[in-house]
Amino acid sequence: MSDPKTISFLPTVRPLRSNADFHAVHVAAEADQHQVIAATHMAEKHGQVIGYASIGAVTPMLVWVSTKQVQARDSLYLLNMAENIAANAGVRQLMVPCQTDSPFHPFMEKFGYQAAGKPFDLFLKQL
């Protein structure tokens, strides 16, 4: 077994277990000008919250609808159908990446989606 002193310089990651944990993550993230979105785990170093992760709490939904072959009404219907399929599968929260030049983008908040903050790039990794 490793000597704890030899790895004490490394951060730890653990599940959020209490309201105090959630509050500590929110305070630390806000102090660093970041939002907290569906946090499930917190990272700590020397007793200080240094980050969080959301693992499996939000279901990503990637959507493509032809801009040439469908009308806005069709697109809205298809989005609603996909949301219903997700809800029927027990999904409670969706994340939908939407490019700023997408015809959907100006309407996402009207469709009930909440902007998650600053623009960001989406990265995928095969595990």
Confidence of residue 28 (pLDDT cuts 50, 70, 90): very high
Does residue 122 lie within any of the structural domains? no
Domain shared by 64 and 103, yes or no: yes
Does residue 31 lie within any of the structural domains? yes
Give the residue, 32 or 124, on which the prediction is more confident: 32
What is the chain's length? Answer: 127
Element (H, E) at 31: helix 19-31
Domain shared by 63 and 103, yes or no: yes
Domain shared by 49 and 8, yes or no: yes
Q: Are 63 and 55 in contact (CB under 8 A)?
A: no
* pLDDT for the residue numbered 67: 85
pLDDT of 97 > 60? The answer is: yes
What residues does 41 pair with on adjacent strands? 15, 53
Domain extent, residue 82, equals 59-107
Domain shared by 70 and 100, yes or no: yes
Domain shared by 47 and 67, yes or no: no
Q: Are 10 and 35 in contact (CB under 8 A)?
A: no
Confidence of residue 119 (pLDDT cuts 50, 70, 90): confident
Computed from CA positions of residues 29, 94, 75, 63, in that sequence, does the dihedral angle turn out positive or negative? Answer: positive
Q: Are 15 and 41 in contact (CB under 8 A)?
A: yes
- What's the CA gap between 57 and 39, in Å, rounded? 8
Does residue 91 lie within any of the structural domains? yes
pLDDT of 78 > 90? The answer is: yes
Domain shared by 42 and 72, yes or no: no
pLDDT of 100 > 80? The answer is: yes
Number of separate domains in the chain? 2
pTM of the model: 0.73
pLDDT of 27 > 60? The answer is: yes
Residue linked to tokens 């919250």: 49
Domain shared by 71 and 95, yes or no: yes
